[in-house]
Amino acid sequence: MAQAKSALRPATTGVTADSRPTREEAEAAVVTLLRWAGDNPAREGLRETPARVVAAYDEWFSGYDVDPAEHLSKTFEEVEGYDEMVILRNVRFESHCEHHIAPIIGRVHVAYLPHHSVIGISKLARLVDAFAKRLQIQERMTAQIAHALNDALQPKGVGVVIEATHHCMTTRGVHKAGVTMVTNQLLGAFRDDPSTRREFLAAIGNPTSGAGHLD
């Protein structure tokens, strides 16, 4: 389990308890940003904003305190020989891009072909949140979910597709609303077997719009 844990928790999350700023220091940083934006942190509407922002960060980035392997540690082998695809569609997630700390909001489709065991579907949703509630890029998050599930279950294959809107693109910069980014990671049979790939994509509504994007 120790090996799996080190593989699932990226090196970029290596902030120790000793090096982590205090809550008071974090709130002071928010005060500085409010002043830099041109407002007065002492006015009535902003007096409690630093505390609120830090509390929001506690929730938005709670994934740093979660080991994804723990969500996948309990599996079930009494499945009466079931060996067909397991798919969890439309798992909504909220993340933040690491470049602008702007929201990434979308949905994840996760599937696997069981080999010896299966896992509770709520654990798949918790796996998504464990990686989403960190500073992210969508490509890395897609790969993290797929490889974590593959490492834990050792299934015949894993498929993960993410569709998301990036507010760093819709609310700033190029200001292109209505744009959705699609990423995928296919492992095992989902990559090697065209029929398995087609079945998975058909089941989730084929958001990739063609197999060429999957190679």
Q: Cα–Cα distance between 181 and 14 in angstroms, integer? A: 28
C-beta separation of 31 from 24 below 8 A: no
Listed residue (119, 16, 15, 42) closest to 75, CA to CA: 119
Report the run of H or E that residue 127 belongs to, with start and end: helix 121-132
- Tokens in use for 3? 């090996």
Structure token digits, residue 164: 């998301």
190's enclosing H/E stretch is helix 189-192
Question: Which residues carry out catalysis?
Answer: 97-100, 138, 166, 168
For tokens 């008071």, name the residue. Answer: 24
